């Protein structure tokens, strides 16, 4: 096995200047904060929605006389929509 050519497979990375490594605009930070806020709000609302649905399952299944399959289909449909 010849290991003499191993160094040729490694590409050299160009060095970055300080200006390239920092964000170019202040708008980049605002965009990241906006996306983070929207993602956090979406997670909060999804969890709240799931808690509400799990709380009404006993009442819904009793009121509509659902079996397990019908209840599973209705809960999954509510979560998707």
Residue 41 domain-assigned (yes or no): no
Query: What was the pLDDT predicted at 8?
Result: 56
Distant-in-sequence, close-in-space partners of 64: CB < 8 Å, separation ≥ 6:
70
Residue 68 domain-assigned (yes or no): yes
Residue 33 domain-assigned (yes or no): no
Residue 63 domain-assigned (yes or no): yes
Q: What pTM does this model have? A: 0.50
Residue 30 domain-assigned (yes or no): no
Query: What was the pLDDT predicted at 16?
Result: 63
pLDDT per residue as tens digits for the range 60-73: 999 999 999 999 99
- Full domain range(s) for residue 72: 49-81
Residue 4 domain-assigned (yes or no): no
Check: CB of residue 39 under 8 Å from CB of residue 45: no
Residue 67 domain-assigned (yes or no): yes
Q: Exposed (0-12), middle (13-18) or buried (19+): which is 38, by Cβ within 10 Å?
A: exposed
Phi, psi of 15 (to 5 degrees): -80, 140
Residue 64 domain-assigned (yes or no): yes
- Counting the structural domains of the chain, the total is 1
């Amino acid at each position: 096995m010849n290991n003499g050519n191993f160094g040729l497979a490694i590409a050299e990375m160009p060095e970055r200047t300080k200006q390239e490594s920092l964000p170019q605009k202040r708008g980049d930070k605002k965009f990241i904060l906006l996306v983070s806020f929207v993602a956090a709000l979406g997670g909060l609302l999804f969890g709240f929605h799931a808690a509400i649905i799990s709380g009404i399952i006993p009442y819904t299944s009793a009121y509509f006389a659902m079996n397990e399959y019908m209840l599973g289909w209705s809960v999954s449909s509510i979560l998707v929509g």
